[in-house]
Chain A
Amino acid sequence: MNKLILGRYFPGGSLLHRIDPRAKLLAGISFIFILFIANNWITYLVLWLFTFTMMKLSGVSIRIYLRGVRPLIWLILFTVSLQVLFTAGGEIYIDWGPITISSFGLINGLYIFSRFTMIIFVSTVVTLTTKPIDLTDAINYLLQPLKRLKLPVDEISLMLAIALRFIPIILDETQKVMDAQRARGTVFGEGSLPQQIKKIVPIFVPLFVSSLGRAEDMANAMEVRGYQSNNPRSSFRRLQWQKTDIAALFAMVLLAVILFILRTEGHHFH
C-alpha cells in the first residue's frame, strides 16, 4: 500500500505547501484544461517547463513523482501505441494496411504521453503539498454553490473528512488481520489466482465486521457530541486567502495566455 503515491501528503514548508488549498485545487483543475490549448512542440515545451518548475518547487524528489506514474504506465503506453499505430499523415515509415507508423503518429503519441504524465505530475504536486483535510475543506468551499440545488455539501465533506481519517486505521487493521491469518499458516501472494482470491475472503469478513462496529461507535460519539445533520455548523479550521494565492491563480492565467500566443493556428495535428 505504500506504493500508492497519489493522495499522499508530504509535510514540508515549501511555497507550494503554503498556498491555500482552494487556490491549489483550482490551479490543478485549470491545468488539465490548459493542457488542451497546447498543439505544437513549443507549447508542450512550455508546459513541461511549467510542470518541472512546480515539481522542483514542491521540494519532493523526482523519484517520488515517477513512482506516481508507475501504476498507470501500461494504460499510458497502450493509449500512446494506439495513437502511433493508427494515425496516418506526414512521412510514413511503415505501412501495413490500416496500421501505419508515420511522423504524425509518432508526434501525436509523444503529445498524448506528455499530457498523461503531466496531468499525473501536476495532480501529484497538489496532493503531495496539501493535507488531505485541507483538500476536503477546499472541496467543501468550492462546492458551496451547489447547496442551492439542495446538495448536502457540508455532510459530504464531513463524510470525506471522516473517511480520510479512517484510511490509516483500516490499513493498520488489515495488517493485523493478515498477520493473524499468517499466524495460522496462510501464505499470501502464492498459488493460482483463484487460490489467492480465496485467501482474501477471510481478511475482508473480519474487516467489514469491525468497520461496522467502528461506524456505530463513531455515530454514537458524534450524536453525544451534539452533531445533527442539517443544522448549521461553524468551522474551526479556517482557510485564509492571501496574496500568494491570487498570484498562483494569476500564474495559471498567464500560462494559458502564453500557450494561446504560441499555439499553432488551424489544425495541423489532432
Chain B
Amino acid sequence: MSMHCIKVENVTFHYNLQKQEHTIADLSFTARRGEWLAVVGHNGSGKSTLASLLVGLRMPSSGRIYINDIELKEETKWELRNQIGLVFQNPENQFIGTTVKDDVAFALENQNMPYDEMKQRVDRALAMVSMTDYADYDPSRLSGGQKQRVAIAGLLALHPDIIVLDEAMVMLDPKSRRGFMSLLDELRKQHQLTIISITHDMNEAAAADRILVLKKGKVMEIGKPGQIFQREERLDVPFIEALRRKLKKQGSTIPDKYMTEDEMVWWLCR
C-alpha cells in the first residue's frame, strides 16, 4: 500500500452542465495515512461538493480519485464505502435507527453481517466514543455532541481508514466541540485513521496537520497551519493568531510567526 490514502487527481465537477462554471476545477491533492487534513474556504468554494465526491455520492466530470490505491468509480464505490465514511453537518438527518445501537448497526446490516459479529462491533464502537450507557436511547433525544459521537460510532463500526467530516462541528457548542476534536484525535492515533475535516472554523482548522485552502473549486494553498495563517492575510484566522496580530499592532515584541495556543500561553506568562 502506498503512503497516500487519498489521492485526488485533476478532478473537475460541475452541477450545471450548461454553464461552464466549475464547482470543482482541476483539483489535485493527496492525504497521508493517519493525517488530519482540514479543508477550508468560503461559502461556495466547493467544500461540501468535495466531500460528496470523496465518498462517491457524486462522480467527477473528469479526473480521478483513488482511495487506498483503488479508483473510485460506480463499480467500486460500494466496496470503498467500507473504507471511507462521512459525518454530516446536521446529525438529525443521518440517523436511521430508532435507538443508538440500532443506528450504529445500520451500516453493518447493509453488509449482511452475522448478528454476533455485529453485536461485538457495535459494542466496541460505542465504547470507543464513550456512548455505551446510551445504547438504548433514542438518538433524537441526545445532545448535539452526543449525536455526532453516535454518528462517528456508526462509521467506526465499519473499521474505516478515512473519515470525512462535512462541517460536522458547526452545531456543537465550544465545549463539546473541543471534546469531539480530542476524541477524533485520539481515535486517529490509535487506529491510524485519516481525517478530512471540512470546516470554516479556523480554530478547528488550526488543530489539523495540514490545511487546504479552497477557492472557487481550486487549491489556493496547502500546508501546515503555521504557514497558511502567516501567509494568508485575507483568511479569517484562529483566535490565537488574531490576538498575536493585535498585540503586534499595539507594538508588542511578540514574535512575528504563527503560534499555537500553548506557545502563546507560554510566551504571555514567561
| Complex alpha-carbon distance, A220 and B115, angstroms | 25
Q: Which residues of A contact B143 (CB under 8 A)?
A: none
B57 touches A220 (CB 8 A): yes
Chain A binder among B22-30, B103-111, B261-269: B103-111
B109 touches A235 (CB 8 A): yes
Instruction: Pick from B86, B92, B99, B105: contact of A169, CB below 8 A.
Output: B92
Q: Which residues of A contact B95 (CB under 8 A)?
A: 165, 221
Interface size on B, residues (CB 8 A): 37
B115 touches A221 (CB 8 A): no
Nearest to B157 among chain A residues (CB) is A225
Answer yes or no: B82 CB below 8 A from chain A CBs: yes
B96 touches A236 (CB 8 A): no
B88 touches A222 (CB 8 A): no
Q: Using a CB-CB cutoff of 8 Å, which residues 118-140 of chain A contact chain B?
A: 131-133
A226 touches B115 (CB 8 A): no
Q: Which residues of A contact B101 (CB under 8 A)?
A: 236
A220 touches B110 (CB 8 A): no
Minimum CB–CB distance from B119 to chain A (whole Å) comes to 8
Q: Which residues of B contact A168 (CB under 8 A)?
A: 140
B112 touches A234 (CB 8 A): yes
- Residue from A164, A228, A232, A237 having most chain B Cβ neighbours under 10 A: A237
Q: Which residues of A contact B251 (CB under 8 A)?
A: none
- Using A169-B92, A217-B90, A224-B57 as known contacts, say yes or no to A236 and B107 having CB atoms under 8 A apart: no
Answer yes or no: B260 CB below 8 A from chain A CBs: no
A217 touches B88 (CB 8 A): yes
Answer yes or no: B76 CB below 8 A from chain A CBs: no
Minimum CB–CB distance from A6 to chain B (whole Å) comes to 19
| Complex alpha-carbon distance, A269 and B251, angstroms | 102
Proximity string of chain B (72-115) to chain A, C-beta cutoff 8 Å, 1 when within and 0 when not: 00000010011001101010111111110110011111111111
Q: Which residues of A contact B92 (CB under 8 A)?
A: 169, 214
Answer yes or no: B228 CB below 8 A from chain A CBs: no
| Complex alpha-carbon distance, A108 and B93, angstroms | 52
Answer yes or no: A161 CB below 8 A from chain B CBs: yes
Q: Which residues of B contact A131 (CB under 8 A)?
A: 98
The 4 closest A-B pairs by CB, nearest first: A236-B105, A217-B93, A221-B94, A225-B107
6 A-B Cβ contacts within 8 A?
A220-B52, A221-B88, A223-B57, A231-B112, A233-B110, A236-B105
- 18 other contacts beyond A221-B93, A232-B112, with CB at 8 A cut-off? A132-B98, A164-B98, A165-B96, A165-B98, A217-B88, A218-B93, A225-B81, A225-B158, A226-B82, A226-B107, A226-B110, A227-B96, A227-B110, A228-B110, A231-B112, A233-B112, A234-B108, A234-B111
Chain A interfacial positions (CB closer than 8 Å to B): 131-133, 161-162, 164-165, 168-169, 213-214, 217-218, 220-228, 231-238
